[in-house]
């Protein structure tokens, strides 16, 4: 794969990680898998690692890029059909009323259902190629509010190094995100050096019609959030992950299902963001269960490839 940076066997395979116990723990797990005499040994067939995406592999503030993409699409829909503005979620978008999205964030079933229905409708009938092209155009045209870069340039340099190191040690790395599977697949190779089939996420159903794959409005599988993460991972890989990494409360079950859990703590307001919203449960679980926690401020010598 072109985009993949092969690790050299000499030199530091994780140059963006600060020397210390967190880096040591990560190196032990990744490299220990090779050593049959190590308690960290993992048979090759079981070396499955799972990474959340938003806030784990790239920045998710001020809002995940995919949420931005989805809401833009719904705003287009209501512009094309003003009658939609009478119902949620279009009503909330048209009036700027934040209560509806607060209810979505709180996992209110009616609000989540209305949002998913609108998203399903937005692309119903689009071919896979059409959807991919729309996503590609979006990444080309949009820039991050604070950093001014493309959203694909918000991938964390230390995580890209970690993925490459895992590949060098025979791990199969999967992204497992609550975000849209097909949205992420468009940028998976360039961003993470991962083939499309390594991306697991939420997705509508697709139908094979007239020789092509077409999106339909229904969504039969659960969202890849909370218990949905280990469920999707089992469905796709036939096992629970040996290594898992996340940063949000929706990652707790995936982390708990793994042998080694790594949590990203966003405590770096200068280089990235400092926040614990949506992460209080996972940070508590990390303390209670002894999961390894990365302080972005302390444990990463650079966050983005352009730092320093």
Q: How far apart are CA 130 and CA 107, in angstroms?
A: 30
Q: How many CA atoms lie within 13 Å of 109's alpha carbon, on the beta-carbon side?
A: 1
* Among 241, 291, 219, 295, CA closest to 264: 295
CB of residue 224 vs its own copies: minimum separation in angstroms? 12
Handedness of CA 294, 257, 59, 4 (dihedral sign): positive
Question: Quick check: 256 binds its own copies (CB under 8 A)?
Answer: yes
Cβ count near 3 (within 10 Å): 12
Question: Quick check: 208 binds its own copies (CB under 8 A)?
Answer: yes
Residue 59 or residue 200: which is nearer to its own copies going by CB?
200
Residue 199 or residue 264: which is nearer to its own copies going by CB?
199
CB of residue 173 vs its own copies: minimum separation in angstroms? 12
Of the listed pieces 57-65, 67-75, 249-257, 273-281, which binds its own copies according to CB under 8 A?
249-257
CB of residue 272 vs its own copies: minimum separation in angstroms? 29
Rounded-to-10 torsion of CA 7, 10, 14, 20: 160
Task: Transcribe 52-74 into DSSP letters.
Answer: --BTTTB---SS-HHHHHHHHHH
Q: How many CA atoms lie within 13 Å of 146's alpha carbon, on the beta-carbon side?
A: 12
In the numeric block, the tokens 């269960």 are attached to: 289
Q: If DSSP codes are grouped into helix, strand and coil, which group holds residue 82?
A: helix
Of the listed pieces 34-42, 81-89, 232-240, 275-283, which binds its own copies according to CB under 8 A?
232-240
Question: Quick check: 1 binds its own copies (CB under 8 A)?
Answer: yes
For strands 243-246 and 212-215, give the pairing: unpaired
Q: How far apart are CA 204 and CA 187, in angstroms?
A: 19
Question: Quick check: 203 binds its own copies (CB under 8 A)?
Answer: yes
Question: Quick check: 306 binds its own copies (CB under 8 A)?
Answer: no
Residue 234 or residue 306: which is nearer to its own copies going by CB?
234
Query: What DSSP designation does 223 have?
Result: P
Query: What DSSP designation does 283 have?
Result: H
Of the listed pieces 44-52, 60-68, 140-148, 243-251, which binds its own copies according to CB under 8 A?
44-52
Q: Which of 38, 235, 259, 280 binds its own copies (CB under 8 A)?
A: 235
**Interface positions, 157-176, toward its own copies (CB under 8 A):** 172
CB of residue 197 vs its own copies: minimum separation in angstroms? 4
Of the listed pieces 109-117, 134-142, 204-212, 289-297, which binds its own copies according to CB under 8 A?
204-212
Residue 233 or residue 283: which is nearer to its own copies going by CB?
233
CB of residue 240 vs its own copies: minimum separation in angstroms? 7
Q: How far apart are CA 108 and CA 285, in angstroms?
A: 24
Question: Quick check: 220 binds its own copies (CB under 8 A)?
Answer: yes
Question: Quick check: 253 binds its own copies (CB under 8 A)?
Answer: yes
Cα distances (angstroms) measured from residue 211 to each of 47, 129, 214: 36, 12, 10
Instruction: Report yes or no: 232 and 221 within 8 Å, Cβ to Cβ.
Output: yes
Chain residues that interact with its own copies, rule: CB under 8 A: 1-2, 44-45, 48, 128, 172, 181-182, 185, 189, 195-197, 199, 203, 205-209, 211, 213, 220-221, 227-231, 234-240, 253, 256-257
């Amino acid at each position: 794969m072109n985009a993949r940076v092969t690790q050299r066997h000499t030199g530091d395979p994780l140059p963006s990680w600060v020397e210390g116990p967190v880096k040591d723990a990560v190196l032990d797990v990744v490299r220990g898998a090779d050593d049959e005499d190590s308690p960290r040994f993992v048979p090759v067939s079981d070396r499955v690692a799972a990474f959340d995406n938003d806030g784990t592999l790239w920045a998710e503030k001020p809002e995940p890029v995919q949420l931005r993409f989805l809401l833009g699409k719904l705003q287009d829909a209501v512009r094309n059909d003003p009658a939609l503005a009478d119902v949620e979620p279009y009503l909330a978008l048209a009036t700027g009323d934040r209560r509806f999205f607060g209810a979505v964030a709180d996992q209110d079933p009616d609000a989540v259902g209305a949002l998913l229905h609108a998203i399903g409708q937005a692309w119903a009938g689009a071919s896979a190629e059409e959807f991919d092209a729309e996503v590609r155009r979006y990444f080309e045209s949009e820039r991050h509010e604070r950093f001014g870069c493309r959203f694909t340039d918000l991938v964390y340099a230390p995580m890209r190094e970690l993925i490459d190191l895992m590949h060098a040690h025979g791990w199969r790395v999967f992204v497992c995100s609550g975000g849209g599977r097909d949205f992420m697949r468009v940028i998976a190779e360039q961003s993470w050096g991962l083939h499309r089939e390594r991306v697991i996420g939420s997705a509508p159903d697709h139908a094979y019609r007239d020789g092509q794959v077409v999106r339909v409005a229904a969504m039969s599988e659960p969202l890849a959030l909370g218990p949905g993460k280990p469920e999707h991972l089992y469905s796709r890989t036939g096992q629970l992950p040996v290594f898992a990494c996340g940063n949000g409360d929706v990652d707790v079950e995936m982390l708990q299902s793994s042998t080694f859990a790594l949590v990203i703590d966003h405590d770096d307001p200068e280089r990235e963001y400092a926040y614990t919203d949506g992460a209080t449960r996972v940070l508590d679980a990390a303390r209670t269960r002894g999961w390894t926690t990365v302080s972005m401020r302390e444990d990463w010598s650079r966050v983005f490839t352009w730092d320093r």
